[in-house]
Amino acid sequence: MGRGRKIALWSISLLALIAVIFAIFENAYISKSKPLIAGEHQVTFVDQDVVITRDKDGVPHIKAQSDEDLYRAQGYVQAQDRLFQMDLARRQASGRLAEVIGEAAVANDKLFRTFSLRAAAEASYDGYSDQAKAVLNWYAEGVNAFINEAKDTHKLSYEFKLLGYEPETWTPEDSLTIGKYMAYDLGGKWQPQAFRHWALNAFSEEKAKELFITYPENAESIMTANKENQVEVAGRFLPELSPPEFNGSNNWVVSGEKTASGMPLLADDPHLGLSTPSIWYQMHLQSPDQNVGGVIFAGIPGIILGHNEEIAWGVTNVGPDVQDLYIEIPHPSEKGKFRYDDKWEQAEVRDETIRVKDGNDIPFEVVVTRHGPIISDVIYKEEDPEALFSMQWTALEPTTELEAIMKMNKAADWESFEKALENFHAPAQNFVFAAKDGTIAYKANGRIPIRKQGDAQLAVPGASSEYGWEGYIPYDELPRVVNPDEGFIATANNEVVDDSYPYHITKFWAQPYRYERIAEVLREGDEFTAEDMMKLQMDQKNLYAAEFLDSMIGSVEKKDQDGNYQESIKLLKDWDQVDSKESSAPLIFHKWMRQLQFEMFQDDMPEDVFALMPGKGQITDELLRKGYNGEASVWLNEQKGVDQWVYSSFMNAIKEIEADFGNKPEKWQWGDFHQLTFPHSLASASPIFEKLLNPKKQPIGGSNITVQAAAFKDDGSVNHGASWRFVADLNDLSKTYHIVGPGQSGHMKSKWFHDQAEDWALGDFHETILTGEVSNGSVLTLKAE
């Protein structure tokens, strides 16, 4: 027998052995840890009996006789279904993953220790009202009741066994830290400043100009500071730890004047990373003081998005500039001192030693200046740097979002809801609102800084008091719309103000195509129903192609003298510009658009800087517009003009498609490349875990610029999109419509683990009731002692 065959047989045998061991482990341990969802269960943490009914989709309906017991039961139920997810979330945000995962998580821990989310959460707790603190503590009591129960009965979920640890006691600060992590995931903008700082020092000023949304020509001192005090960017950051550039979302609300029932309709689908389990957990909470349903992040009490018996609401990300970089000048010999107004000022230096599973502790210090933590030496510490970046961020200040959630859940009209939003500081969100009294409304809500100088496109000098923040946009002057004449309000991370607005929000809005499509449908239609709103959430019309495709085809036809690409070009010309999974044209178009970015920028910058580069899509769009309008461009000149750039990108895109899918364009399909995935955090550990924990990939339509958001990686994996879909008809708030992909449960043996993955792909919504009795539900009664 040859050596290669022996190795192959040995590998097969090893995999078979692993499979047998896992099967034994599964039967002996995994099934044992499934949560109790039916019967009577004697507990000590509630004062009166609490009834928990899980409906056919796994949504828990909790009915308690007081808010105290309601929040205790909420903590218990979330822990039943999602404890491992909750524990990883608090560890990641606190910079404590390496303790249970090992050396692979050290870079993550350094980043989050530096960003100081935990410290910000602890400071926030002190600012909460006694009532909010009570809610956080009641919720923690419920979580801890489940943790203790699972430990005592050896029923902790299998993930803890695999990693060899047990969860610690849950605290109110844990919930707030997870909230701060969501602010991190949704409220960025320091990366664009770091990139532009690099570009100013790497390229000529003329070439760098074209990488700005608008070039800050009136801020000469800021430009000078960025050129004279260079901070290392290449090799200093890990782009893979940055949140997605546009954690987008769609939401809209339609007036009763444009609906079949004469009452408003509301739709919301926040776009975040797609994962197993979902980032969202859907619940229905009922006590004598409230009756509210919707979703919340696992690990946090209340309902953040949803409805009660009188109102409904949803959000998209505003995406304002709330993170500023400062160029700090360190003392040449005295550690922890930085120049400020011709003096040397001592920064806070915190010992953040990182414990590592199966390894030695890693000494690590976090340095915090008057502006915020030093972030540019997290990965690599230079001995004597001439300049460093610090970061100021609204979410690092004490904030009170839970206070807002509690008030939102009990609000009954726009006045009380808007009053609740005063406590919602970070991340800044576009709230849309509808009420049974017929009101529709919108508010861009959150703390948005007012700057002494600059427009947040570049890092500013940290050594001068002439720069920095001088408060926030006044609450009463934040963008706001109530009952507009147009009959609807919609947002999709698009620009929400015009040039007349007196304050700076950002210059870095999402591409407008999702918003334009939503507005197009809502303007043209009438007599809308909830079914129409669900259909619009699944809309795959591509307005990106509508703007550029004809011109780009013209470029190819000019250069393709031999007619080598006639078949592919005909497919694009005949395309209905819908990103359907069966069509070949979307595959060509999206590969082509992405190749334009690679051709233009990739060779001009280090790999990590290219990955860090913000707004590749927006900048590419502007270069295409310049080229087709005959405007001058350094970047286009280096590509020998727009036609050559577009043609070269097309050739390379086709070459890549042919390598993967053959040379017959009529057989290509968007869904062969563009495939939905909900990856589990443990799936990458082995192919066996991947098969067991991830739902099967499936072809999917839509894209990153369609209303049915389905953003994809370079390998075609769809890993970002509508993490929750929600539609409410204010004519009947006793029921609403939802999809939580891939399912409600975090337990692999639960029937609700992946049951909504296909629903997500097909747009099959489930109905959830707010009033009345759940039919055919699994009823668990927590019996008070």
Q: Do 78 and 298 touch, CB atoms closer than 8 A? A: yes
In this structure, what are the phi and psi dihedrals at residue 478, rounded to the nearest 5 degrees?
A: -70, 150
**Residue whose C-alpha is closest to residue 252's, from 546, 514, 545, 524:** 514
- Contact partners, residue 7, CB within 8 Å, separation at least 6: none
- 127: tokens are 């600012």
Rounded distance between C-alpha atoms, residue 288 and residue 359, angstroms:
52
Dihedral of CA 514/709/699/673: which sign?
positive
- Residue pair 293/768 in contact (Cβ under 8 Å)? The answer is yes
Q: How many CB atoms lie within 10 A of CB 10?
A: 10
Which residue type is seen at 557? E
**Cβ atoms within 10 Å, residue 231:** 22
The response to whether 321 counts as a known ligand-binding position is: yes
Structure tokens that stand for 762 in this block: 């097909």
Residue 42's DSSP bridge partners are 783
The active-site residue, picked from 94, 157, 175, 249, is 249
Distance separating alpha carbons of residues 188 and 181, to the nearest angstrom:
11
Alpha-carbon 154 to chain mean position: 34
Element holding 393 (H helix, E strand): strand 388-393
3-state secondary structure of 567: helix
d(CA 525, CA 529): 11
Tell me whether residue 608 is annotated as binding: no
Distance of CA 606 to the CA centre of its chain: 26
What type of residue is 506?
A: T
Q: Which residues contact 630 (CB under 8 A, 6 or more apart)?
A: none
Question: Whole-angstrom Cα distance, residue 504 to residue 320?
Answer: 9
**What residues does 778 pair with on adjacent strands?**
54
Cβ of 389: how many Cβ atoms within 10 Å?
Answer: 27
Task: Check: CB of residue 156 under 8 Å from CB of residue 168.
Answer: no
* Spatial separation of the C-alpha atoms in residues 276 and 293, rounded to whole Å: 22
- Cβ atoms 265, 728 nearer than 8 A: yes
Three-state DSSP string of 644-657: HHHHHHHHHHHHHH
List of long-range contacts for 95-101, beta carbons under 8 Å, 24+ apart: 95/352, 95/354, 96/355, 98/354, 98/355, 98/356, 98/357, 98/359, 98/362, 99/165, 99/355, 99/356, 99/357, 100/163, 100/164, 100/165, 100/357, 101/163, 101/357
Please give the angle made by the CA atoms of 260, 261 and 267, to the nearest 5 degrees: 80
Q: What is the DSSP letter of 30?
A: I
Helix segments in 165-247, DSSP class H? 172-186, 190-202, 205-209, 220-228
What one-character-per-residue DSSP string does 699-749 give? Answer: E---BTTSSSBEEE-TT-EEEEEES-EEEEETT-TTEEEEE-SS-S---TT
Q: What angle do CA 712, 304, 186 make, to 5 degrees?
A: 40
Nearest partner of 55 among 738, 749, 726, judged by Cα: 738
The rounded distance, in Å, linking the Cα atoms of 372 and 374 is: 7
Q: Specify the 3-state DSSP secondary structure of 489.
A: strand
User: Has 333 been annotated as catalytic?
Assistant: no
Binding-site residue positions? 321, 324
Active site residues: 249
Binding-site residue positions for Ca(2+)? 321, 324
